[in-house]
Amino acid sequence: MSATAALMQEFDQECQTTRRVLERVPSDKLAWKPHAKSMSLGQLAMHVASAPGYITGWALQDATEMTGGSSPEAASTAEVLAAHDASVAKTKEALATIGDAGLGAMWTMKMPNGATIMSMPKAALVRSIAFNHVYHHRGQLSVYLRLLDVPVPSIYGPSADERLGM
């Protein structure tokens, strides 16, 4: 199996899990924050939904300029799910375009003044920043759901809400 095919297979599986988590985000709690320094539920959900497509888009370039900014606030769960679906399509398209040969090419993130922040193979960008970064925030989102007393779906095996016999 090619490296690109392996990444696509993993992404297909993980994006189904991510969608299950995003489906549980309650539209009436999108402004909720567990702490003043935390993202709101709506911002975190939009970040989880859109980051894979946004970040894999960087891998289509040899260098990306860091512009800053934050995730937008979601207006509804439907908007989050639409963003997720668009991000999934964009990620798959980017991976197909990059291909195995492109995954070995180097990528660099730069500041507006041209200073290099980081540099890595595009395969590492996809694996570490696009995929692992989103898995981290998906876990964070599951904690938000728990704190809001929303049943948490299965992620890597049954959750406390989905155990047999409960």
Q: What's this model's pTM, rounded to 2 decimal places?
A: 0.92
| 18 and 139 Cβ atoms separated by less than 8 Å | no
Looking at domain 3-147, its CATH class is mainly alpha
* pLDDT the model gives residue 165: 53
Q: Please, which pLDDT band fits residue 19 given cuts at 50, 70 and 90?
A: very high
pLDDT tens, position by position, 111-136: 999 899 999 999 999 999 999 999 99
